[in-house]
């Protein structure tokens, strides 16, 4: 996702800009040119040929036009990456056009930021409703563009921030998830095409029903589910282990539930993005080679596709065909199944008896979709086992948090959907599945134990 914009080029490095600025102030006070300032104030708007640069020159904000399309946008990109990589767009659905004339980004009378076209019409604005007094809009080194009171840099007091309105990219420190206090549900959504930042068909959004899980959708249809957050990672992303470079976290406070990530060294760039082609992709910038390297992406294989093997089906890329049924189940639609379309899933063939049923511990699993599951983070494993055992409609249970020895309880009394079997090398976690007494001890999939 890069768009080399036509128009002017910003070739001044920061130091040069300072000299240039001094030069300007002393000698050419009326010349318009890129100014290395990091904020817009009521008396200093931003013109089409100017940019803001964050204080350590990591990010830049200004106007751009993808491939001389005649459509102009206000966006944020990395200052020092030559191949312009736009990470945020203010007016993605309402571009300025050549015919509406030169735009300007400024602070309006009500203290909000406005993008105003050549006729003076506002085509985009920040949406703070507080009456704030004198305000300043500043581009921070995190890539966050914030509106704040003139002398107040406290994060909690920001009146508006671009991090609350993501485009297609999640940067370190940005939140994917909701804030019940402000009613915001922050999610990322694709550009329409490589050169049109308008909101496209693909989105990646967090769902906090049951255990938190994020879904990649095409319009309203789920394409891929990350698997439930299990205290360490999303259970469908076993490779998502904390590394020396990056930390993933899920944060729950009184009013907020969100996923975020951070890098241990701010000179390393990483971004998570929904591409216009419909993939969720993480890129890392490799400074020595000057490329964005695709570090991870999804869906990456057949088993990443949502409900590939239907209810009670398990997807496993190490076998062929990839779908198999849970122990005690058989294909619902034998013909389609034999033709390798597993989406109708499986039905129970061995009746349960409730009290005499046993459980099968299935290792290295992606947990079933959990939006209608019962969750209690305070329950012990034994309590969870007992609760599932005495509730005949409980089909499976697991620890809701696998940190350390594991804790909490998640229990499914509805269909088990979107399960996946990983290998030991890939990882995954233990899921305990209810089976008829006669199936306890059946030879089952590798790495499974019955008890
Ligand atoms: C818009 O204006 C720019 C600069 O004047 C020009 O290069 C470009 O061709 C114009 N685009 C359209 C679609 O008119
Ligand atoms: C998971 O358990 C660990 C260790 O007890 C705890 O620090 C962490 O907050 C828990 N995470 C969640 C999401 O409950
Ligand atoms: C961050 O990375 C740079 C470049 O590799 C290195 O010079 C610097 O020491 C690192 N900083 C920290 C705090 O690790
Ligand atoms: C079984 O669990 C479900 C979900 O928590 C609950 O609605 C139902 O009442 C339980 N049934 C029994 C018999 O406990």
DSSP reduced 3-state for 224: strand
pLDDT at 441: 66
Could you tell me the residue range of the domain that residue 70 belongs to?
Answer: 36-165
In degrees, rounded to 5, the angle at the alpha carbon of residue 289 between the alpha carbons of residues 288 and 291 is: 125
Nearest to 399 by CA among 189, 208, 235: 235
The verdict on residue 448 lying in a domain is: no
Average pLDDT over residues 445-451: 40
Q: Are residues 274 and 324 in the same domain?
A: no
Spacing, Cα 311 to ligand 2 middle (Å): 30
DSSP reduced 3-state for 98: helix
- Per-residue pLDDT for 29 more than 70? no
Using pLDDT thresholds of 50, 70 and 90, give the confidence band for residue 449: very low
Q: Are residues 144 and 192 in the same domain?
A: no
Give the strands of the sheet with 188-193, arranged side by side.
188-193, 196-207, 213-218, 221-225
Q: Are residues 358 and 321 in the same domain?
A: yes
Using pLDDT thresholds of 50, 70 and 90, give the confidence band for residue 410: very high
Residue 265 CA: which ligand 3 atom is closest?
1
Q: Are residues 318 and 407 in the same domain?
A: yes
The verdict on residue 450 lying in a domain is: no
pLDDT at 23: 40
Instruction: Answer yes or no: are the C-beta atoms of 295 and 270 closer than 8 Å.
Output: yes
Question: Which ligand is closest to the CA of 7, given by its number?
Answer: 1
- Per-residue pLDDT for 149 more than 70? yes
The verdict on residue 444 lying in a domain is: no
What rounded mean pLDDT belongs to the chain? 88
Q: Are residues 324 and 407 in the same domain?
A: yes
Q: Any idea which of 59-63, 118-122, 256-260 has the lowest mean pLDDT?
A: 118-122
The verdict on residue 71 lying in a domain is: yes
Spacing, Cα 51 to ligand 1 middle (Å): 20
With a 6 Å cutoff on the Cβ, whether 372 touches ligand 4 is no
Give the N- to C-terminal CA distance of the chain in Å, as an integer.
51
User: Mutation test of ligand 4: which of 413, 414, 415 has the most ligand atoms closer than 8 Å to its C-beta?
Assistant: 413
Instruction: Answer yes or no: are the C-beta atoms of 387 and 368 closer than 8 Å.
Output: no
Bigger pLDDT: 419 vs 13: 419
pLDDT at 442: 59
**Residue 344 C-alpha from the chain's centroid:** 29
Task: Write the residue with the smallest CA distance to atom 12 of ligand 4.
Answer: 391
With a 6 Å cutoff on the Cβ, whether 413 touches ligand 4 is yes
Residue 374 CA: which ligand 4 atom is closest?
5
Q: Are residues 429 and 315 in the same domain?
A: yes
Q: Are residues 143 and 211 in the same domain?
A: no
Q: Indicate which CATH number applies to the domain containing 203.
A: 2.90.10
pLDDT at 379: 96
Could you say which of 300, 316, 345 is where a domain stops?
Answer: 300
- Per-residue pLDDT for 133 more than 60? yes
Q: Are residues 256 and 315 in the same domain?
A: no
Cα separation, 308 vs 321, in Å, equals 12
Q: Are residues 365 and 344 in the same domain?
A: yes
Enter the DSSP assignment of 118.
T
- Per-residue pLDDT for 260 more than 90? yes
Q: Are residues 364 and 245 in the same domain?
A: no
DSSP reduced 3-state for 140: coil
The verdict on residue 324 lying in a domain is: yes
Using pLDDT thresholds of 50, 70 and 90, give the confidence band for residue 372: very high
74-119 residue pLDDT tens: 999 999 999 999 999 999 999 999 777 789 999 999 999 999 998 8
The verdict on residue 451 lying in a domain is: no
Could you say which of 117, 136, 165 is where a domain stops?
Answer: 165
Spacing, Cα 264 to ligand 3 middle (Å): 9
Average pLDDT over residues 433-448: 68
Task: Return left, alpha or beta for 14; rule: phi > 0 is left, psi -120 to 50 is alpha, else beta.
Answer: alpha
Spacing, Cα 391 to ligand 4 middle (Å): 6
Could you say which of 165, 184, 200 is where a domain stops?
Answer: 165
Split into its structural domains, the chain has a count of 4
Bigger pLDDT: 82 vs 15: 82
| pTM assigned to the model | 0.88
Q: Indicate which CATH number applies to the domain containing 43.
A: 2.90.10.10
- Per-residue pLDDT for 130 more than 50? yes
In the chain, the percentage of residues whose pLDDT exceeds 90 is 76
Task: Return left, alpha or beta for 177; rule: phi > 0 is left, psi -120 to 50 is alpha, else beta.
Answer: left
- Per-residue pLDDT for 44 more than 60? yes
Using pLDDT thresholds of 50, 70 and 90, give the confidence band for residue 18: very low
Nearest to 52 by CA among 128, 147, 185: 147
Q: Are residues 105 and 155 in the same domain?
A: yes
Average pLDDT over residues 149-172: 96
pLDDT at 13: 36
Task: Write the residue with the smallest CA distance to atom 7 of ligand 1.
Answer: 68
Q: Are strands 323-325 and 429-435 parallel, antiparallel or unpaired?
A: unpaired
Average pLDDT over residues 289-306: 95
- Return the H-helix or E-strand segment holding 364: strand 358-366
Spacing, Cα 68 to ligand 1 middle (Å): 6
- Per-residue pLDDT for 15 more than 50? no
The verdict on residue 106 lying in a domain is: yes
Q: Are residues 330 and 278 in the same domain?
A: no
- Per-residue pLDDT for 170 more than 50? yes
Average pLDDT over residues 349-375: 93
- Per-residue pLDDT for 32 more than 70? no
pLDDT at 12: 32
The verdict on residue 445 lying in a domain is: no
Q: Which residues form the pocket of ligand 3, taking CB atoms under 6 Å from any ligand atom?
A: 265, 267
């Amino acid at each position: 996702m890069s768009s080399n914009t036509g128009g002017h080029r910003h070739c001044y490095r920061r130091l040069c800009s300072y000299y240039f600025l001094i030069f300007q102030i002393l000698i050419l006070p009326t010349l318009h040119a890129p100014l290395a300032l990091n904020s817009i104030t009521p008396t200093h708007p931003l013109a089409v040929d100017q940019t803001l640069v964050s204080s350590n020159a990591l990010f830049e904000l200004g106007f751009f036009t993808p491939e001389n399309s005649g459509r102009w946008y206000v966006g944020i990109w990395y200052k020092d990456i030559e191949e312009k990589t736009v990470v945020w767009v203010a007016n993605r659905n309402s571009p300025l056009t050549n015919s509406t004339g030169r735009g300007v980004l400024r602070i309006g009378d009500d203290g909000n930021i406005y993008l105003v076209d050549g006729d003076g019409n506002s085509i985009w604005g920040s949406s703070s409703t507080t009456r704030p007094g004198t305000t300043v809009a500043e581009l921070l080194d995190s890539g966050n563009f914030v509106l704040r009171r003139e002398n107040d840099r406290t994060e909690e007091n920001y009146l508006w921030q671009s991090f609350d309105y993501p485009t297609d990219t999640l940067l370190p420190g940005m939140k994917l998830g909701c804030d019940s206090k402000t009613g915001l549900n922050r999610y990322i959504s694709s550009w329409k095409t490589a050169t049109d930042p308008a909101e496209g068909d693909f989105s990646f959004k967090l769902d906090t029903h049951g255990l938190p899980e994020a879904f990649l959708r095409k319009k309203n249809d789920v394409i891929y589910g990350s698997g439930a957050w299990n205290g360490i990672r999303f259970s469908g992303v076993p490779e998502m282990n904390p590394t020396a470079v990056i930390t993933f976290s899920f944060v729950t406070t009184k009013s907020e539930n969100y996923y975020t990530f951070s890098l241990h060294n701010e000179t390393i760039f990483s971004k998570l993005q929904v591409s216009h082609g419909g993939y969720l992709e993480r890129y890392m910038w490799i400074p020595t080679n000057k490329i964005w390297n695709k570090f991870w992406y999804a869906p990456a294989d057949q088993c990443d596709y949502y409900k590939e093997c239907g209810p009670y089906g398990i997807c496993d890329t190490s076998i062929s065909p990839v779908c198999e049924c849970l122990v005690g189940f058989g294909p619902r639609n034998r013909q389609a199944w034999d033709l390798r379309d597993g989406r109708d899933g499986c039905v129970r063939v061995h009746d349960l008896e409730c009290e005499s049923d046993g459980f099968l511990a299935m290792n290295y699993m992606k947990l079933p979709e959990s939006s209608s599951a019962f969750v209690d983070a305070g329950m012990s494993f034994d309590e969870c086992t007992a609760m599932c055992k005495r509730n005949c409609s409980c089909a499976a249970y697991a620890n809701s948090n696998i940190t350390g020895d594991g804790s909490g309880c998640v229990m499914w009394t509805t269909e088990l959907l979107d399960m996946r079997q990983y290998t030991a090398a890939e990882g995954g976690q233990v899921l305990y599945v209810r089976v008829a007494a006669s199936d306890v001890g059946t030879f089952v999939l590798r790495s499974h134990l019955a008890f």
